[in-house]
């Protein structure tokens, strides 16, 4: 069954705790419960990740990121507002110098098999097995077909995969995106055959990718780019999916719920001076995009919306990603 809704989980920030939009938490998050206490009603809905293997402390101490520890800490965070738990995604390597698709097939498949084992272990041992998403790090179409079919054979119906890691290197940026959509094309091929599978995309979900993800039947995604752009890079997102340094802006026009509360000069001043203002604007743009996507899904018009937005984004590699998914959908 194709996805009928699309939900984006942004990085959780305690300073924005009054915003009631969906957030992603790492399995070892300590601030979320401190901020909300026992007020489950006041919490945003959330997805609990298995932790970034490439970030500290896990890149140095992978032993802190075992399937047992991930599940135990995730379960401390589970409540009525929890939508999903991602199981241990096993990387081919903890280094990020070589993109995943350049490793030997046998090494790639060994990592995927370990990920599958971890997902099955979690299914046996979790208090809420219905919340689990089997986590994988996948780099090619063939690997994706292999592991999705195998996972489906053993009764798993919710998958999650990490993406976008090699986009930080300019020489791999385009290929990284194409590989992501190869994997999603494989997911669509398996979905055509098998019927009901949900897919969560972790990372690789910048504003200009969201329509493509929903078009590819991805049911949810998490990403840090809207938050990071505003905080670390001083950037604001534009309606056409670009990211611009706020200190380079000469004028500003934006109808988002944050900027429209003040006049355009005040909004510009805020965006230039305040990281929090930039993040608030960026999050609004992501939510506007998400609402437009859900409307298109309801009206069965996702292809039309995607094409319209891709014209605005004006990036050749995004059209190639679109073509891959369209081809796989036409095999139904
Ligand atoms: Zn705005």
The tens digit of pLDDT for each residue in 240-250 reads 888 999 999 99
pTM of the model: 0.96
Phi, psi of 25 (to 5 degrees): -120, 145
Kindly state the DSSP code that residue 41 receives in the 8-state scheme. G
Q: Residues 220, 265: contact at Cβ < 8 Å?
A: no
Provide the pLDDT for residue 232: 81
Could you give all domains of the chain from N- to C-terminal order, each with its CATH number?
Answer: 7-223+302-330 (3.20.20.105), 233-298 (no CATH)
CA of 19 relative to ligand 1 center, distance in Å: 15
CA of 66 relative to ligand 1 center, distance in Å: 41
Indicate if the pLDDT at residue 261 is higher than 80: yes
pLDDT mean across residues, the chain: 95
Q: Residues 302, 296: contact at Cβ < 8 Å?
A: yes
CA of 276 relative to ligand 1 center, distance in Å: 12
Indicate if the pLDDT at residue 332 is higher than 90: no
CA of 236 relative to ligand 1 center, distance in Å: 9
**3-class SS string, 56-109:** CCCCCCHHHCCHHHHHHHHHHHCCCCEEEEECCCCCCCCCCCCCHHHCCHHHHH
Token pair, residue 193, equals: 């055959």
CA of 293 relative to ligand 1 center, distance in Å: 19
Give tens-digit pLDDT for 82-131: 999 999 999 999 888 899 999 999 999 999 999 999 999 999 999 999 99
CA-based nearest residue to 211, from 2, 8, 22? 8
Euclidean distance between CA atoms 135 and 157, whole angstroms: 12
Residues 6+ apart with CB under 8 A from 1: 191, 195, 196
β-bridge partners, 8? 221
Provide the pLDDT for residue 33: 93
CA of 31 relative to ligand 1 center, distance in Å: 27
171-198 in b/e burial notation, b at 16+ Cβ within 10 A?
ebebbbbebbbbbbbbbbbbbeeeeebb
Give tens-digit pLDDT for 140-158: 999 999 999 999 999 999 9
What count of other Cβ atoms lies within 10 Å of the Cβ of residue 170?
7
CA of 278 relative to ligand 1 center, distance in Å: 8
CA of 264 relative to ligand 1 center, distance in Å: 10
In a 13 Å sphere around the CA of 293, the CA atoms on its Cβ side amount to 29
Query: CA–CA distance from 268 to each of 245, 247, 280 (Å)?
Result: 12, 9, 13
Token pair, residue 198, equals: 């949900």
CA of 295 relative to ligand 1 center, distance in Å: 21
| Arithmetic mean of pLDDT, 22-48 | 95
Within its chain, how far is the Cα of 152 from the centroid?
Answer: 21
Provide the pLDDT for residue 229: 84
Kindly state the DSSP code that residue 128 receives in the 8-state scheme. -
| Arithmetic mean of pLDDT, 10-34 | 94
CA of 259 relative to ligand 1 center, distance in Å: 4
Euclidean distance between CA atoms 18 and 14, whole angstroms: 9
Indicate if the pLDDT at residue 169 is higher than 90: no
What count of other Cβ atoms lies within 10 Å of the Cβ of residue 251?
7
3-state class (DSSP) for residue 204: coil
Give residue 1's pLDDT band: very low, low, confident or very high (50, 70, 90).
low
Residues 6+ apart with CB under 8 A from 301: none
Provide the pLDDT for residue 92: 95
Q: Among all chains, which residue has been given the structure tokens 């490439």? A: 54
Give tens-digit pLDDT for 201-247: 999 889 999 999 999 999 999 999 888 888 888 999 998 888 999 99
CA of 283 relative to ligand 1 center, distance in Å: 9
Euclidean distance between CA atoms 147 and 88, whole angstroms: 15
Percent of the chain with pLDDT strictly greater than 90: 88
Token pair, residue 124, equals: 């046996």
For ligand 1, a single-atom ion, the residues with CB < 5 A are 254, 256, 259, 281
CA of 9 relative to ligand 1 center, distance in Å: 19
């Amino acid at each position: 069954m194709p996805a009928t809704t699309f939900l984006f989980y942004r990085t959780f920030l305690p300073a924005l705790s009054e915003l009631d939009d969906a957030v992603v938490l790492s399995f070892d998050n300590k601030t979320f419960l401190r901020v909300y206490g026992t007020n489950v009603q006041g919490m945003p809905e959330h997805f609990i990740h298995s932790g970034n293997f490439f970030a500290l402390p896990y890149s140095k101490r992978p032993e802190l990121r075992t399937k047992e520890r991930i599940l135990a800490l995730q379960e401390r965070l589970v409540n009525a507002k929890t939508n999903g738990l991602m199981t241990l995604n096993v990387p081919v390597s903890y280094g990020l110098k070589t993109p995943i698709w350049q490793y030997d097939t046998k090494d790639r498949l060994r990592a995927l098999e370990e990920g599958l084992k971890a997902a099955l272990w979690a299914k046996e041992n979790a208090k809420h097995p219905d919340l689990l998403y089997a986590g994988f790090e996948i780099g090619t179409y063939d690997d994706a077909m292999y592991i999705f079919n195998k996972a489906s054979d053993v009764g798993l119906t919710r998958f999650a995969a990490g993406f976008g890691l090699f986009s930080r290197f300019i020489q791999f940026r385009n290929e990284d995106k194409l590989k992501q959509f190869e994997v999603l094309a494989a997911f669509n091929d398996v979905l055509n055959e098998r019927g009901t599978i949900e897919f969560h995309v972790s990372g690789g979900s910048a504003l200009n990718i969201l329509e493509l993800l929903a078009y590819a039947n991805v049911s949810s995604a998490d990403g840090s780019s809207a938050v990071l752009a505003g905080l670390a890079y001083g950037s604001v997102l534009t309606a056409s999916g670009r990211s611009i340094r706020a200190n380079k802006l000469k004028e500003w026009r934006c109808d988002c719920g944050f900027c429209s509360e003040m006049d355009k000069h005040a909004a510009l001043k805020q965006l230039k001076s305040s990281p929090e203002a930039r993040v608030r604007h960026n999050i609004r743009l992501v939510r506007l995009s998400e609402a437009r996507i859900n409307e298109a899904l309801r009206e069965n018009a996702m292809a039309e919306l995607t094409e319209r937005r891709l014209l605005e984004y004006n990036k050749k590699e995004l059209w190639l990603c679109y073509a891959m998914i369209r081809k796989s959908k036409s095999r139904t």
